[in-house]
Amino acid sequence: MEQFDTVVIGAGIAGLTAARILAGAGQRVVVIEARDRIGGRVVSERGDGVVTDRGASWIHGITDSAVHEIATAFGMPMREFTVGSFQAGGRPIAYYGPDGARLSDAEAESFIADVAACDQALPAAIEAVGPVASYADAVARALADLGWEAERAERVREYMQHRSEEQYGAWIGDLDSHGLDDDAVDGDEVVFPEGYDALASGLAAGLDVRLGREARTVRWAEDGVHVETVTAEGGRGRHREPKGAETLAAERVVVTVPIGVLRAGGIRFEPELPDEVSHAIAGLQMNAFEKVFLRFPERFWDAGVYAIRRQGAAGDWWHSWYDLTPLHDQPTLLTFAAGPAARETRDWSDERIIDSVMAGLRALYGAEIPDPIGHTITRWQDDAYSHGSYAYMTVGSRTEDHDLIATPIGGGRVHIAGEATWTEDPATVTAAVESGRRAAGRILGREVPVAEIIRAEETPPNPR
Ligand SMILES: Cc1cc2nc3c(=O)[nH]c(=O)nc-3n(C[C@H](O)[C@H](O)[C@H](O)COP(=O)(O)OP(=O)(O)OC[C@H]3O[C@@H](n4cnc5c(N)ncnc54)[C@H](O)[C@@H]3O)c2cc1C
C-alpha cells in the first residue's frame, strides 16, 4: 500500500492549492481526481478561435484577491468585465422595460438608484425578519419599509429575485435571508480571454495527480487515514462491483469534493462526520445554474454596453445578456439559466433552449435578427462529480456554517476544504483557493502567505 503524508481528494482549485503548498513544504502528497482532467469547476473549452469558460469566468473583485495575485504571477491575460456580480449599474447596461422599450438614461438611473436604496435598507430588514427567513422575506420587508408605489417596488423586487438566481442559482424564496451577505465586490472584476484553466494547470505543475480515480471511503483512526479509491466510471459504476480498487495510506486527508458529492453520500466516512459538520453540510444545497453562450454571425444588439437587461414578465427566465464580443472579437452573448429556469430546462434539448432564449432576444431586437451560428450550454446539474454549479444557503442555515464544515476532524486527520467551506466569499474560486490555503496552513501549523503558492517555478517532485 502506498504511504503518503497527505492525500488530497479532488484536483479542483481548492485541492490543487492545498497540495501545492504541502508539496512545496516537502510533504509526500498525492491528489486523487475522479475526472480525466484537473480543474473541477474551472474548465475552459477551446475551438473556432474562442475560449469558453464552462465553469467559473470571473474574479469578483481584484482588490486584495489572492486569485488575482496568483493569476498575475502565472502570466494569465485578463480583461476587465465588471458586471459579473449582477450589478445594477456602474458600467453601461442597456435596460429594457416590461413593454420592451429601452429605458431612457434618466429612467435607468432612477431604477439603479432604487436598487441602491433597497440594498441600503436590506441589512435592517434581514435583522427584522429573524433567523429563519428567506431572501424574499427580507426584500419584501425592505421594500415595505421604503413605502414605494406597487410598480416601482415590483421592478426592484424582480431585480432582487434575478440577483438571487444569477448569483446563487436559487429561487429567492429558497435562499436564506443571509445568502447574499458576501455580495460586496472589491475593485474591478476581470475574466480570462485565454481561459481560467491556466490557474489549475499552474497550480498542478509538478504535483502527483492521479486522474480517473474516485475516492469512495475515508477511514480514519488515531494513527492515520486510509482512502479507498476505485477506477472512476463517471458516477455510473456506483451500484456495480467497483473496479480497480486501491487503498492509499496517509497521515491525513484533505477532502475537497463539492457539497453535492458529500450530500449524495459519494464518499463514506468511517467513523461518520461529527454532527455539527454534518448539520452544517445539510444546510447548504447545490444550485441550478447553467451558462448559455450564443455566437452570432454579426452583432445586432446595443453597442457600447456590457450587458442587456429585460424587466417584467417577459424577462422572467432570460433577463440578462452579457456581451462577450470584445474577448475574442466574435459576436457572442452569454446568458444564464438560473434557479427555476435551470430546473425547468434541465431536460430540454439545446435547440429548445436556444429557441426560448432567441424568443426573448427577438422581442427586443425584432424577428429578423440572425440565428446563432454556434452555442455552448452547460449541464452542471447532471454532473456526477458536482451535482450543480456551487452551493447556496438554504433557509435557516447560518453564514458561519461554511467555516464549520472545515473544522479539523480526529485531531487533524481529516480536513474538508472547497468552495462551500469559506464563509467570507463562498461559491467562488477565491473560496476554493483560500480554503485550500487554510487547510494546508492548519496541517503545517502556520500561516501560509500567498507568495508560497506562487513561489516555485517548479514544485519539487514528491520525495517518494
Ligand atoms: C457555471 C459556473 C460558473 C461559475 N462562475 C464563477 C465565477 O465567475 N467566479 C468564481 O469565482 N467562481 C465561479 N464559479 C464557482 C467556482 O468555479 C467554484 O467555486 C470553484 O471552482 C470550486 O473549486 P473547488 O476546488 O472547491 O471544487 P471543484 O472544482 O468542484 O473540485 C473538486 C474536485 O473533486 C472531484 N471529485 C468529486 N468527487 C470525487 C471523488 N469521489 N473522488 C475524487 N475526486 C472527486 C471533482 O471532479 C473536482 O475536480 C462558477 C461555477 C460554475 C459551475
Q: Is 336 annotated as a binding residue?
A: yes
Q: What is the reported pLDDT for 458?
A: 52
Residues of the chain below pLDDT 70:
237, 456-464
Give the closest residue to 10 by CA, choosing from 26, 28, 29.
29
Q: Model confidence over 201-223: pLDDT tens digits?
A: 999 999 999 999 999 999 999 99
What is the distance in A from the centroid of ligand 1 to the CA of 11? 9
Query: Which of 385, 422, 437 to mutate to test ligand 1, by most ligand atoms within 8 A of the CB atom?
Result: 385
User: Dihedral, CA atoms, 295, 301, 306, 309, nearest 10 degrees?
Assistant: -100
User: Dihedral, CA atoms, 15, 16, 19, 20, nearest 10 degrees?
Assistant: -150
Q: What is the reported pLDDT for 189?
A: 97
Q: What is the reported pLDDT for 33?
A: 98
Rounded Cα–Cα distance for residues 201 and 462 (Å): 17
Q: What is the reported pLDDT for 464?
A: 41
Q: Is 4 annotated as a binding residue?
A: no
Quick check: bond before 271 cis, omega within 30? yes
Q: What is the reported pLDDT for 455?
A: 77
Rounded Cα–Cα distance for residues 159 and 242 (Å): 48
Q: Whose CA is nearest to atom 13 of ligand 1?
A: 56
Q: Which atom of ligand 1 is nearest to the CA of 13?
A: 25
**Who lines ligand 1 at CB under 6 A?**
9-15, 32-35, 40-42, 55-58, 60, 84, 214-215, 256-258, 261, 266-267, 289, 291, 378, 380, 385-386, 389-390, 418-419, 427-432
Instruction: List the grid coordinates of 175.
Output: 435562499
Q: Whose CA is nearest to atom 5 of ligand 1?
A: 56
CA geometry: angle 323, 326, 329, nearest 5 deg: 110
Q: What is the reported pLDDT for 235?
A: 74
ipTM of the assembly?
1.00
Rounded Cα–Cα distance for residues 24 and 158 (Å): 49
Which domains are delineated in the chain? 2-42+197-285+390-454 (3.50.50.60), 44-65+72-86+287-382 (3.90.660.10)
Q: Model confidence over 78-91: pLDDT tens digits?
A: 999 999 999 999 99
Count CB-CB contacts under 10 A for residue 396. 12
Rounded Cα–Cα distance for residues 134 and 141 (Å): 11
